[in-house]
Amino acid sequence: MSYDLAETSTAEGRPYFLYLFAEGERLWRFTSRAADWLSPAAAFPAEGVDLNWAAAAISHGAIVQSSDPRRVDLSVTLPLSDPFARRYLGPRSGPVTSLTIFRGHEQLPAEVVAHWKGRVVSARTEGPRITLRCESLFTAMRRAGVRAKYQRLCRHPLYSRGCRLDIETYFVGGNASARAGNQITVAEAALLPDGWFRGGVLRHAGAFGFIIGHSGASLTLAGRMPELEAAIDAAIAAPDTLALIEMAPGCDLRSSTCKAKFGNLLNFGGFPDIPGRNPFGGTSIV
């Protein structure tokens, strides 16, 4: 039996999907099967070796063919506890993650076809799941070229590719000793001026949180972090344990802050000298 016959069969097909994520030289291989899958070398001649695909609770939405780039996004879903998917919940400044989905049939391990190819754009949580929003390779080809947005504040998200700051060099270690709602107490935060971490990032056990307030030793998070809360409660119950975190400072996107706080004015993406009034009086130009 060939792949085409298995694909068109009404009863003999046993399809499965392989998901290949790539960031430069780093590769992650997952399969939708209930158990790990070994692809023979004949399935991927370019690799020349057998490939292992880890079983995961991974799935994707319907693949749509459309001339409108906004309608061809693909959603890939993984469990909230999946460490690979959690990498995308925080700010990212690394390389683009490409995704190739292969489709095959279990009775034909040496035959697979590339089902979809694109890249990971963003991630969001939906209850017990993490949904990765991916765009097709052809979407990026149709998109207009990059244009700078004309505004006073910096157009680059902090620690993004345009900002060019490496968040790993700005993390400050600390110990969360108490919590109340979305507020946590971190003694090390009081060593820096109020507001230093406002708009910044908190990391605990690989999970990221957004800091929306900083006053003394108190940090206010944009949302709850259950794993951090459990660690704080455990530290309170057993004083010999610690709820270790890392904090990265925030930015108000002003040129003065970019220069004084980060020394990154060369990468500032705003236009602070925009006049306060329209020099053309608001009338049309003929």
CATH number for the domain running over 171-248: 2.40.30
pLDDT at 110: 87
CA dihedral (99, 101, 102, 107) positive or negative: positive
Task: Quote the longest CA-to-CA distance of the chain.
Answer: 74
Q: How many C-beta neighbours within 10 Å does residue 142 have?
A: 11
pLDDT of residue 87: 84
Q: What is the pTM of this model?
A: 0.54
CATH 2.30.110 holds for 14-142: yes
Domain with CATH 2.40.30 in the chain: 171-248
User: What pLDDT does 276 receive?
Assistant: 64
d(CA 99, CA 64): 16
Q: Is 204 left (phi over 0), alpha (psi -120 to 50) or beta?
A: beta
Q: What is the pLDDT of residue 94?
A: 63
CATH 2.30.110, the chain: domain bounds: 14-142
Residues in the chain with pLDDT values less than 70: 1, 3, 6, 8, 10-11, 66-71, 91-94, 139-146, 276-286
Can you give the pLDDT at residue 285? 38
pLDDT on residue 93? 58
